[in-house]
Amino acid sequence: MASETMVGDREAAGAIAGMQELYGLSLPDRGQAIRGITAGKRWSGTCAHSDEFWTIVEIEPESYVRVPTTDIEIE
């Protein structure tokens, strides 16, 4: 049976859990206006879906981008 995890996933999950415990993680609500910078590119839109790792942002009607949740600046 093949594993769906990548090398470093456990370490990343542990680091995220530690940061959540220390700083708290506030996930945006669906439809909430959000913005941020990912890979040097500024973006803004509304939250279509969010979890502790990734957020899907609707940047235009029917146009989406997936960004790391840690890149979000909630408006």
The model's pLDDT over 37-58, given as tens digits with 9 standing for 90+, comes to 999 999 999 999 999 899 999 9
Residue 14 has pLDDT above 90, yes or no: no
In this prediction, residue 41 carries a pLDDT of: 93
Q: Which residue has the tokens 């995220």?
A: 16
What 41-44 contacts at long range (C-beta under 8 Å, 24+ apart), as own/partner pairs, is 43/67, 44/75
Model-level pTM? Answer: 0.65
Question: Residue 11: its pLDDT value, please?
Answer: 83
The more confidently predicted of residues 43 and 13 is 43
What does 5-39 look like in DSSP terms, one character per residue? --TTHHHHHHHHHHHHHHH---PPPTT-EEEEEET
pLDDT category of residue 20 using cuts at 50, 70 and 90: low
Q: Please give the domain boundaries of the chain with CATH numbers for all domains.
A: 27-74 (2.30.30)
